[in-house]
C-alpha cells in the first residue's frame, strides 16, 4: 500500500493516510502508517539509524485523509500544543444515513471512552471521566437513494475525542455510512464494509519553525463514497 506524501521538510511530513491502515502498530500486526513513514524517511535520506518521527494527532483505522507528523522533538511539542489549544484546524467530509435537524450547526456532548470495548458513548455532563466534545457541521447536500436518505456534510472538528464524529452523529440518528461500530444500519455487516464514509479532507496549522500558515487538502477516496454522485466542494 503506497502512501501519498503531500509535503516534507526537516521539521514535518504531511501525507494522506490510506483507508484501512492503522496509524500505529496494534494487535493486528498489520503494517502501520508510522512504521511505513519511518522506513520511507530512512531509505530516502540514506540514514544509518531509525529516524525520529512523532504522531501528534490520530485518524481511526477505517478513516483516510490528511495527517501531519513531526520530524524532531521541537516540532512535535509545537504541533501538539496547536492540537491542544485548537489552532490546528481539521475538516472532514462525511456521508450520513438520515438527516440532521438543521442545515448547519454545532454539536456539543460529553463523551466517555470504554477501553475494554474500544467504544465511546454520549453521557450526561458531570459523569465520571466524561470529556466535552464539540464539532461544527454544514450540510452540503441531501440525496434520496435506494439506500434511503443520505446526507453529505462538511465537519470541522473542534475537539479530538475518541471516535468523536462517529459517536456524535450516530447519537442524532444520522450515523456515518458504513460504520459497523456505531451505525445500527451496518452493525450486522462487519465483513462487508471495511471503509466508513468519513475522510479528513483539510488540515491547517502553523509551521513549527517559521510560523507559516500551512493548508493541505485532499478529496475523499474509496468506494464507499460512490454511494452519492461526488462533486467538488
Sequence-distant (6+) residues with CB within 8 A of 37 are 3, 13, 15, 53, 69
Q: Chain-wide mean pLDDT for the chain?
A: 91
Considering the chain, what percentage of its residues have pLDDT values greater than 70? 94
23 within a domain of the structure (yes/no): yes
pLDDT for res 190: 58
Cell of 128: 465520571
233 within a domain of the structure (yes/no): no
CATH number, domain at 131?
3.30.2350.10
Residue 232 predicted with pLDDT over 50: no
124 within a domain of the structure (yes/no): yes
Q: d(Cα 70, Cα 10) in Å, to the nearest integer?
A: 9
Cell of 139: 450540510
166 within a domain of the structure (yes/no): yes
Sequence-distant (6+) residues with CB within 8 A of 5 are 13, 14, 15, 40
Query: pLDDT band for position 191 (50/70/90)?
Result: low
pLDDT for res 80: 97
Residue 230 predicted with pLDDT over 60: no
What one-character DSSP code corresponds to residue 176?
B
Cell of 197: 464514509
pLDDT for res 76: 98
25 within a domain of the structure (yes/no): yes
Residue 229 predicted with pLDDT over 70: no
Looking at the chain, the number of H-run helices and the number of E-run strands are 3, 11
Residue 187 predicted with pLDDT over 70: yes
Domain count, the chain: 1
pLDDT for res 161: 94
H or E element at residue 110: strand 104-114
Query: pLDDT band for position 228 (50/70/90)?
Result: low
82 within a domain of the structure (yes/no): yes
Considering the chain, what percentage of its residues have pLDDT values greater than 90? 76
- Residues 115-127 have a mean pLDDT of 93
232 within a domain of the structure (yes/no): no
85 within a domain of the structure (yes/no): yes
Residue with the three cell numbers 489552532: 87
Structural domain of residue 211, as residue ranges?
4-227
Residue 20 predicted with pLDDT over 50: yes
Q: pLDDT of 37-58, one tens digit each?
A: 999 999 888 777 889 999 999 9
Query: pLDDT band for position 77 (50/70/90)?
Result: very high
- Residues 208-222 have a mean pLDDT of 94
Amino acid at each position: 500500500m503506497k502512501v501519498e506524501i503531500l509535503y516534507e521538510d526537516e521539521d514535518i511530513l504531511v501525507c494522506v493516510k490510506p483507508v484501512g491502515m492503522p496509524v500505529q502498530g496494534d494487535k493486528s500486526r498489520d503494517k502501520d502508517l508510522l512504521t511505513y513513514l519511518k522506513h520511507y524517511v530512512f531509505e530516502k535520506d540514506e540514514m544509518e539509524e531509525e529516524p525520529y518521527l512523532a504522531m501528534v494527532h490520530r485518524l481511526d483505522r477505517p478513516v483516510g485523509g490528511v495527517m501531519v507528523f513531526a520530524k524532531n522533538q521541537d516540532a512535535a511539542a509545537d504541533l501538539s500544543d496547536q492540537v491542544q489549544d485548537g489552532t490546528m484546524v481539521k475538516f472532514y467530509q462525511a456521508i450520513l444515513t438520515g438527516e440532521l435537524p438543521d442545515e448547519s450547526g454545532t454539536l456539543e456532548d460529553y463523551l466517555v471512552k470504554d477501553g475494554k470495548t474500544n467504544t465511546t458513548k454520549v453521557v450526561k455532563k458531570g459523569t465520571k471521566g466524561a470529556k466535552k466534545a464539540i464539532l461544527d457541521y454544514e450540510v452540503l447536500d441531501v440525496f434520496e437513494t435506494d439506500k434511503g436518505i443520505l446526507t453529505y456534510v462538511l465537519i470541522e472538528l473542534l475537539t479530538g475525542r475518541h471516535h468523536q464524529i462517529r459517536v456524535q452523529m450516530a447519537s442524532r440518528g444520522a450515523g456515518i455510512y458504513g460504520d459497523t461500530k456505531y451505525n445500527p444500519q451496518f452493525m450486522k455487516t462487519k465483513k462487508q464494509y471495511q471503509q466508513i464514509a468519513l475522510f479528513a479532507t483539510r488540515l491547517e496549522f502553523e509551521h513549527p519553525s517559521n510560523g507559516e500558515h500551512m493548508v493541505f487538502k485532499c478529496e475523499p477516496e474509496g468506494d464507499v463514497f460512490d454511494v452519492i454522485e461526488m462533486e467538488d466542494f
